[in-house]
Structure 1
Amino acid sequence: MGYDELVKGRIYLGGAADAQEVVDNENIDIVYDVRVNSVQDAEVPACPIVHAAIVEQHLADSIEAGATSIKEAYESGKNIFIHCGSGNGRASVMATAALLELGLANDLESAEQMVKEVRQSANIRPNMREALEKLYK
């Protein structure tokens, strides 16, 4: 299993290669692909995929848009899988933002810590952290 459970039974994160496994095993209703260059051709059959790319030119805006969409899906009862290529970079950034949008973390540091507790390989690059700080400090 290459994916991790972020919010018990509701939100998972990992890499693109984990998508089919998590959909099969965890009753996922919607997949958020945060890669810039999404490859959606039949990666996850029978599951809606939202391309919520975190793009370098508009980091804060793209993170905010994706996190808001995840919040709406979560509040409507959907089980969610967030992925990027490896599940360590952009997926970790979006997972951190989602925790803050949902009020499941009090501040950026605790949200980032929650992500790292479930996914030790999580890596938020400095430019992504700056965008998160702009949104959530």
Structure 2
Amino acid sequence: MGVGLSVLIGLKCATLFIFFLSLRMFEFTLLSIPFLYASLVSFLVSIASHPSINLPILLGKGSDGNFPIWSLIIYSPYLYFVRAFSFIRRFTSGEPPYSKIDEGLYVGGWPYAPDKLPPGNPAIVDCTCELPRKKEVRGSAYLCVPTWDTRSPDPGEIESAVNWACRKRAQGVPVFVHCAYGHGRSVAVMCALLVALGLAEDWKTAEKIIKEKRPYIRMNALHRKALEEWSKDRLSTPKR
């Protein structure tokens, strides 16, 4: 599965705490406090994002894609870090912000600006719990499926997202499924959507179709497990 979010943020927590101890050792008490606070926030995120706990609600992202003030204050060291990191990574990667998978179906990364959205005022399925819905892109229909980075929506959430997206496609509305980078969470949902729309026989075939259009996708064991469970128990039927 690779290194998950809980491990990465746990390492960040330890690093920040070491900085805190070092500054305290040299009697920079006031300067050390932000490092201690950021370390504690990282510890909470590391625990809440562990697969055995999986509590994306911790960050407080609402169904409209916004974060309440209390969340922006309490979790600011994490929330603003991931926004900055996402922006820098997207800017330096050279990867397109989205990829067209089929007619009216797009998968990609966080649309932090209008030019990061596909054409046609698409309905948006947001698979992040850590990134906000920007006010510049609030004119579109929107569904939030809050999920930690490197984790997967559960089969029920995948089913709900697929049903919602199928209704939008039936209305002739394009659908854009995104996570932070368009590599994992959003790809899992798009795999299920391709199956539900009858564009792929199964999620494994769907993954190959998406990879042809967006080569840098990388679903992990959690994504594949969720899709396998969804495939066995799903309620939606392929539309032929």
Which interval holds the TM-score relative to the shorter structure?
Answer: 0.7 to 0.9
Contact 1:53–1:62 (Cα < 8 Å) also in 2: no
Deviation at 1:136, TM superposition (A): 1.5
List per-residue Cα deviations over 1:57-77 (Å, max 9, x = no partner). Answer: 961111111111111111121
| CA radius of gyration, larger in | 2
Partner of 2:92: none
Contact 2:125–2:144 (Cα < 8 Å) also in 1: yes
Partner of 1:40: 133
Q: What CA distance in whole angstroms lies between the structure 2 residues aligned with 1:28 and 1:17?
A: 12
Q: CA RMSD in A?
A: 2.2
Deviation at 1:84, TM superposition (A): 0.5
Partner of 1:130: 225
Deviation at 1:54, TM superposition (A): 4.2
- Residue 14, structure 1, aligned to residue 108, structure 2: yes
Identity in percent: 25
Deviation at 1:45, TM superposition (A): 3.7
Q: Within 5 A, what are the aligned runs for 1:20-59?
A: 20-23=114-117, 26-54=119-147, 59=154
Structure 2: state its 5+ residue gaps.
Answer: 1-95, 233-240
- 3-state SS in 1 of match to 2:224: helix
Q: Which has the higher strand share?
A: 1
Q: Which has the higher contact order (CA 8 A, sep 6+)?
A: 1
Q: Within 5 A, what are the aligned runs for 1:61-76?
A: 61-76=156-171
Q: Within 5 A, what are the aligned runs for 1:74-89?
A: 74-89=169-184
Query: Against the structure 1 CA distance between its residues 48 and 7, is the aligned structure 2 distance closer, same or farther, given a 3 Å change threshold?
Result: same
**Count of residue pairs brought into register by the alignment:** 135
Contact 2:191–2:206 (Cα < 8 Å) also in 1: yes
Query: Against the structure 1 CA distance between its residues 112 and 19, is the aligned structure 2 distance closer, same or farther, given a 3 Å change threshold?
Result: farther
Q: What CA distance in whole angstroms lies between the structure 1 residues aligned with 2:152 and 2:97?
A: 29
TM-score relative to the length of structure 2: 0.51
- Residue 93, structure 1, aligned to residue 188, structure 2: yes
Q: What CA distance in whole angstroms lies between the structure 2 residues aligned with 1:32 and 1:133?
A: 21
Query: Against the structure 1 CA distance between its residues 45 and 36, is the aligned structure 2 distance closer, same or farther, given a 3 Å change threshold?
Result: closer
Q: What CA distance in whole angstroms lies between the structure 1 residues aligned with 2:220 and 2:113?
A: 23
TM-score relative to the length of structure 1: 0.86
Runs ≥4 in structure 1, deviation > 6 angstroms? none
